[in-house]
Structure 1
């Protein structure tokens, strides 16, 4: 009996180990990284998406953006609950956008989850571990990315009223982080070996209006560009309406700000833009794209589009395809419309069948595929600066300043030499594919 009691006591005193599973966008990833840093600073073992099964607590950071993301989040929660029921986990906690948006319903339908938390409730998660949030840990996060690049979330939430978007319901109003905090974080990250900062927010160009009563992204960029060790700064998610052109002046002046801009336009047909509440017309978008390219020649423009919005006609789709053929964006992503409750578009009839939405998306991307190949062929014979991201299947893969992580092109690097991951190399481009380049190391 004494022996058995000893075993039971040892098991009870086992040190907690937390596995964080992150679903959805890069903004969620940053939240998970910050949570990891807080746990680690409080002497709690934590890992990201570990497959070792040596943890006893799981935190699922969910996405609630569109139907597919919600389904993936729910399936992941159920998988972890199943492990708990089998005795392989002690606790399952859920946070993130899905939890923020549907907490009451989820608590009733999945009662096996130990606690649900919203997007802004990290201190409450930490309370479960009997520790407090440490505000002084600026930049001290456990990176889920490779060491040489990191996402930097410069603001939370959004004040825009796009009719299709549920983000304000889950993330609240736009709240900028201070320039001083962001610069301090950049210094911390650079000392840890980060060379590329990917700036993210729901809406970059709104940055600073709440704190400084002006659009302060140019000021932030100049400060970040001064941080030693940061060789690339990349801009994601700029809103086209009232786009602050001063951003481009800084981009031109500072060599470590990538000639790259991710600016979701969502559509090109005026009827769709109006229904989506985008506050801009096709003609105004065309003028903006021209002005951007004239200000920063050679800039890489990435955009994302939505197809299958309520009321979208085949003429609207043709107009969008024509817009792509004229504007010739370097990178394009596309979503099929998801009918989200409590958005203003939810009042419309979701009258485009799912199969037709997908067909339209594929039709549009076929146009972009040709454009992408033609643009890639223009690089053949050039030598480009490439950041080595990884080695996979015996070959190195990297990116140019015109390519962001996961969503854009890669460069297949041919070399007999060993290349340190995270180093920059010069690559002579020898081949072009639809969405990738290939070349050999020179110098």
Structure 2
């Protein structure tokens, strides 16, 4: 096959984005012209990196496959390849239903994809990436898979057991990224808390972050998806003492009712959860906590939900996301429980919890008015620059809308005085 133009389209989370960036780099090394999420239709090869997490994500992936399958059938594409979570999970079904796709792959079949495009896989550059994010921030995926087996989650089925990457390879990759202009590293995994246990016999997350913090030029390190059960509390000292580790922690809790935590197989109780939150806030004063909750799980009663609402009102999390339960094939909940919460009730509970969080966020933002924050500028829009404080992660959290000023450059840090606020965003100008 001629070295044509490849468009890789990424659906789903930042972990998938890292996979796409690795594949983009391998194709680029082989002389392909590569683009990411391009809306142009001039690529002769399309690779779809799919998501299979919940129903909405699966539907988006399937619709994208079907749309590109029509183009393949019409002869507008030479190759249509599908990889990622959905493809790994439903490979045989998809092959039968959508024969226009040239080949479906698992989540980690990078080498096979490269070989099938008559190209060479550069093993020594396995973790090198062609970045798709702005030059000043990058994701660093420290492990694959998950050993937790929560009742509602299908992810271990297509990612497998937890596999940590070696600390040396991660430090080398981080140094390369920083040398290339990265100022903020977003540390991601399905479960940060488990990092190192499989490879070193104990959690090595704190040591990894401490060593990453030594890299000259790295100004922010941000932590996403730390599992609350058996959370490595030694990490808190690192967050508190290292200036370039952001006072930010993404700690998905999912629920607070002991009954629901048990049904969800979360291996933690309400009392233990509250004790952990208190410890985090005591050891790292001013830390921004982001969390996620799941409503409508089988067996969730009105009382369970009210208990969750009361907990959210009391804890006042800085950032929060809510998912409505999706009955996923072959999960523990799918096999063992009846999906007994009506869909409209799930959606109502999700909306109610987010409305509560909106009011909390609004009050927390009002308290920031008049203060000055160190802000990283991400982009420029028509009326203002858009940036983030250390308490905000890209894509998922609030932003700072900064008054236009010729002195401001994208990718740099500035002291920004906050003059106003909305429910989720701050508004300010150069201090």
With the shorter chain as reference, the TM-score category is: over 0.9
Q: 1:415: which partner in 2? A: 404
Q: Within 2, Cα distance between the matches of 1:415 and 1:81?
A: 44
From 92, 96, 104, the equivalent of 2:92 is 104
Query: Residue 392 of structure 1: CA displacement?
Result: 1.6
From 71, 85, 88, the equivalent of 2:73 is 85
Answer yes or no: is 1:186 the counterpart of 2:174. Answer: yes
Q: Within 1, Cα distance between the matches of 2:75 and 2:415?
A: 52
Q: 2:430: which partner in 1? A: 441
Answer yes or no: is 1:48 the counterpart of 2:48. Answer: no
Helix, strand or coil at the partner of 1:136? helix
CA displacement, residues 115-171 of structure 1 (integer Å, 9 cap, x when unaligned): 010012111001112223222115521111111101110000000010100010010
Q: Within 1, Cα distance between the matches of 2:180 and 2:42?
A: 27
Answer yes or no: is 1:357 the counterpart of 2:340. Answer: no
Q: Within 1, Cα distance between the matches of 2:409 and 2:125?
A: 29
Who wins on radius of gyration, i.e. which is larger?
1
Q: Within 2, Cα distance between the matches of 1:123 and 1:223?
A: 31
Contact between 1:63 and 1:69, CA under 8 Å: does it hold in 2? Answer: yes
Answer yes or no: is 1:340 the counterpart of 2:328. Answer: yes
Helix, strand or coil at the partner of 2:108? coil
Answer yes or no: is 1:264 the counterpart of 2:258. Answer: no
Matches within 5 A, 1:393-432: 393-432=382-421
Q: RMSD in angstroms over aligned alpha carbons?
A: 1.1
Query: Residue 107 of structure 1: CA displacement?
Result: 0.4
Helix, strand or coil at the partner of 1:261? strand
Q: Within 1, Cα distance between the matches of 2:119 and 2:211?
A: 34
Q: 1:205: which partner in 2? A: 193
From 361, 369, 379, the equivalent of 1:380 is 369
Contact between 1:138 and 1:185, CA under 8 Å: does it hold in 2? Answer: no
Helix, strand or coil at the partner of 1:409? coil
Query: Residue 394 of structure 1: CA displacement?
Result: 2.7
Deviates more, 1:252-261 or 1:36-45: 36-45
Unaligned runs of 5+ in 1: 1-12
Query: Residue 14 of structure 1: CA displacement?
Result: 5.4
Answer yes or no: is 1:166 the counterpart of 2:132. Answer: no
CA displacement, residues 47-100 of structure 1 (integer Å, 9 cap, x when unaligned): 101122221000000000001111110100011111112221111000000010
Answer yes or no: is 1:317 the counterpart of 2:317. Answer: no
Contact between 2:72 and 2:101, CA under 8 Å: does it hold in 1? Answer: no
Q: 1:243: which partner in 2? A: 231
Helix, strand or coil at the partner of 1:397? strand
Q: Within 1, Cα distance between the matches of 2:297 and 2:186?
A: 30
Contact between 1:138 and 1:184, CA under 8 Å: does it hold in 2? Answer: no
Contact between 2:182 and 2:218, CA under 8 Å: does it hold in 1? Answer: yes
Query: Residue 211 of structure 1: CA displacement?
Result: 1.0
Q: Within 1, Cα distance between the matches of 2:238 and 2:71?
A: 51
Q: Within 1, Cα distance between the matches of 2:107 and 2:3?
A: 27
Contact between 1:139 and 1:189, CA under 8 Å: does it hold in 2? Answer: no
Q: Within 2, Cα distance between the matches of 1:134 and 1:396?
A: 39
Over 3 Å counting, the alpha-carbon distance change for 1:102 and 1:139 in structure 2 is closer
Matches within 5 A, 1:198-237: 198-237=186-225
TM-score, with structure 1 as normaliser: 0.95
Query: Residue 16 of structure 1: CA displacement?
Result: 1.2
Q: Within 2, Cα distance between the matches of 1:14 and 1:35?
A: 18
Unaligned runs of 5+ in 2: none
Q: Within 1, Cα distance between the matches of 2:245 and 2:368?
A: 21
Contact between 2:196 and 2:203, CA under 8 Å: does it hold in 1? Answer: yes
CA displacement, residues 165-222 of structure 1 (integer Å, 9 cap, x when unaligned): 0010010000000111011101111111111000000000100011111100111111
Matches within 5 A, 1:65-144: 65-137=53-125, 139-144=127-132
Q: Within 2, Cα distance between the matches of 1:91 and 1:130?
A: 12
Contact between 1:139 and 1:184, CA under 8 Å: does it hold in 2? Answer: no
Q: 1:369: which partner in 2? A: 358
Over 3 Å counting, the alpha-carbon distance change for 1:417 and 1:157 in structure 2 is same
Contact between 2:386 and 2:400, CA under 8 Å: does it hold in 1? Answer: yes
Query: Residue 308 of structure 1: CA displacement?
Result: 0.6
Q: Within 2, Cα distance between the matches of 1:14 and 1:68?
A: 36
